[in-house]
Amino acid sequence: MYPIIYVIAERCIACGICYLSDVCPVYAISEGPNGVPVFNEDDCILCGACVQKCPVAAIVMNN
């Protein structure tokens, strides 16, 4: 199964906006290795909020 939401790690600047703020309505994002986010796909409702908020467009959503 391919991921529904993922981060392009090389593009992420580890700013923390996606996991340190209340961006995600279902708290599906947490801090992973090197400050890169990890997504809990079971909880993600594909609202797109994190995709919109990322300043470097590192988050990709498949639908």
Least gap, CB of 1 to ligand SF4 (angstroms):
16
Q: Which is nearer to ligand SF4, 3 or 13 (CB)?
A: 13
Per-residue interface string for the shown chain with ligand SF4, residues 9-38, x marking contact by CB under 6 A: ---xxxxxxx----xxxx-xx-------x-
Q: What would the two tokens of residue 56 be?
A: 């470097």
Paired tokens of 1: 């199964």
User: Are 44 and 28 within 8 A, CB to CB?
Assistant: yes
Instruction: Give the shortest CB-22-to-ligand SF4 separation in angstroms.
Output: 10
What is the torsional sign of CA 1, 55, 31, 13? positive
